[in-house]
Amino acid sequence: MAISKMINIVGVHAEGEVGDVIVGGVLDVPGKTMFDKMMHFWTKGDELHAGFIIMESEEYAPMSGSNTICTTTALLETGMIKMEEPVTTFNLDTAAGLVTVTADCKDGKCKAVAFDNVPSFVFGLDYEVDVPGLGKIPVDIAWGGMLYALVDVSYTGLEIKPENAAKLVECGERIKKAVQAKYDPIHPENPGIHGVSIIVLTGPLEDDIDGGKKAINTVVVSPGRLDRSPCGTGTCARMAQLHARGLLAEGQTFRHISVTGTEFLCKIRGTTKVGDLPAVLPTVKGRAWITGFQQVSLDAEDPFPVGYRVGDMWHTPS
């Protein structure tokens, strides 16, 4: 989609003098006071860096890969960030830290987005959890921008296929509760981030073309759905786990495949440490498409101003 700028305006006039009031479509302007903000426009122009906060159904996620790709595509294709062809690079600020995005752009379209995620690392491998119905199974716990438990899908007795989605979700939520009851990992640099909130069910690791590796996976997002994408933060946790197990080397490509058959192309671009823990620097590349422009409103008389839950697809609230 080739829209070079999209700003939301409420058109108003006061005694005949028009004042178009901009109410959306402009990024936050740096500066403590309104004077500082005005001077920022005067001196630096209105090209701004963006930040975003991720709202999942049940939590605010510090970082999200699919949402990073969606946000980058929306910012570029609506002109909120100026698109440069063939490549546009900028930083996105997230609650997990700064993420650099590199977008391949052609004819006004953002074709693909690669993001350099925050350092990702393993808290521990082969923790044992007793999951009702599955028995004692090993799980790995890793950070990839969200805090994951990774479980070999074979322990569920299920294959990663769309027709198994409801059963995979149900197993994943059961595993999550068992992990949460026994372990409370704390991010070494931000104690505000702790506890496993999301599950990767991992498929077998296979050789890919050009010496790379590939695998299918599915991520169970609470309160109960499968990620339709290969899951960016889950992919980073998976790369940290594979690296810790000596199964994925720095620079080697990793093609991660989702339950819907879509793919992220990834690699570890280096290593580092987070606190005392060895960490990898993961890069993930994927694509996004704009599907619509919406305005959401709330009727002042709506009896459900903050929504409601019924325990069918959303399970019973705990």
Ligand X SMILES: O=C(O)[C@H]1NCC[C@@H]1O
Q: Where along the sequence are the contacts to ligand X (CB under 6 A)?
A: 56, 61, 64-66, 146, 221, 227, 229, 231-233
User: What minimum distance in Å lies between the beta carbon of 9 and ligand X?
Assistant: 32
CB-based contacts of 122, cutoff 8 Å, min separation 6 = 140, 141, 142, 240, 241, 244, 277, 278
Taking the complex as a whole, how short is the minimal distance between the CB of residue 218 and ligand X, in angstroms?
11
Least distance in angstroms from the C-beta of 66 to ligand X: 3
CB of 277 to ligand X, least distance (A): 20
Supply 190's token pair.
């931000």
Q: Can you spell out the DSSP letters for 209-254? A: GGG-EEEEEEEEETTTEE-SS--HHHHHHHHHHHHHTTSS-TT-EE
| Euclidean distance between CA atoms 160 and 257, whole angstroms | 10
How many whole angstroms from its chain centre is CA 156?
A: 25
> Quick one: 56 or 170, whose CB is closer to ligand X?
56
Between 218 and 229, name the residue whose CB sits nearer to ligand X: 229
Q: Could you give the residue numbers annotated as active site?
A: 64, 231
Closer to ligand X at the Cβ: 48 or 110?
A: 110
CB of 64 to ligand X, least distance (A): 3
Radius of gyration of the chain (CA): 22
Q: Which is nearer to ligand X, 90 or 264 (CB)?
A: 264
Taking the least distance from each CB to ligand X, the nearer of 178 and 221 is 221
Min. distance of Cβ 229 from ligand X in angstroms?
A: 6
CB-wise, 61 or 92, nearer to ligand X? Answer: 61
Q: Nearest-CA neighbor of 185 among 194, 193, 174, 176? A: 194
Strand runs (DSSP E) across the chain, as ranges? 8-14, 17-24, 50-51, 54-55, 60-61, 87-94, 97-106, 109-116, 120-131, 135-143, 147-152, 198-202, 206-207, 213-221, 225-226, 253-257, 263-274, 277-286
Say how far apart CA 68 and CA 64 lie, in whole Å. Answer: 6
